[in-house]
Amino acid sequence: MTKKLIAEFLGTFWLVLGGCGSALLSAGFPAVGIGLLGVALAFGLTVLTIAYSLGHVSGAHLNPAVSIGLWMGGRFSAKELVPYIVAQVLGGLVAAGVLYVIVTGNGSEIGNFAANGYGEHSPGGYNLLAAFVTEAVMTFMFLIVILGATDERAPKGFAGLAIGLALTLIHLISIPVTNTSVNPARSISQAVFVGGWAVSQLWLFIVAPIVGAMLAGAVYKIFGK
C-alpha cells in the first residue's frame, strides 16, 4: 500500500507540475509560447508518461474523481479510496508549491495561477451552469475512456495512450470554459495558493467531477455484463 500511495503522490505531483507548469510558464511566453494546444498536450503527456512508468504500481489514478469512478464501477477497493485521495491531494499541493517558487523567481506575481473558475474567472466568461455541465460531462467521458481502456477485454498495452489522449482532448474542449479541472486534486492545489475567489469557487471543481465520475462508473457496469 505504501508503494501505491507514493506512486499516486508522485504521479499527481507530475500532472500538476507538468500541466499547470506549462500553462504558467510556457503558454504565452514571448515568441515561442505553446498556447492552448501545448497546454492540452502537456496535461495529456503527464498522464501518458506516468501510466507507463508507475501505472503498474498504483494504477496511475492521479485524480480523486478517477479513484471514485473506478470504485463506483467496481474496479477499485473502498478501503483504498481515502488513502489514494489524500496522496493525490498532497502530491498536487507539493507541485503547486514548487511552481510558486519558480513562477515568483523572476519577481512576477502568481496571477490566477492556472486556477479553475467560472463567471468572471472563466477564461471565456462562462457562467456557473456552463462550468458545472462542462466539468461533469468531461469527467464522465474521461472515466468511460479509462474504464473501457483498462477493461480486461480491451487491447493490451494501449490504455495509457488512450487515457492521455482523452485528457488532451478534454483540455482542448474545456480550457476556455473553466481552465479545465476534471480533477479535484489539481483544482485544490492551485486554489490554495490563489485564495479568495479560487477557494470560494472550488466546490464546483470538486463536486462536478465527482458527479461525472460516479455516473460513468454506474453506466460502465452495463458494458461489464
How far apart are the C-alpha atoms of 87 and 9, rounded to whole Å?
5
Contact 65, 139 (CB under 8 A): yes
pLDDT in tens, 112-152: 999 999 999 999 999 999 999 999 999 999 999 999 999 88
Domain count, the chain: 1
Q: Could you say which residues of the chain have pLDDT below 50?
A: none
Rg of the chain (C-alpha set): 16
Q: What is the pLDDT of residue 112?
A: 93
Which three cell numbers, joined as nine digits, stand for 213?
465520475
Domain residue limits at 58: 2-224
Say what the pLDDT of residue 225 is: 60
- Which CATH number fits the domain that encloses residue 17? 1.20.1080.10
pLDDT at 152: 87
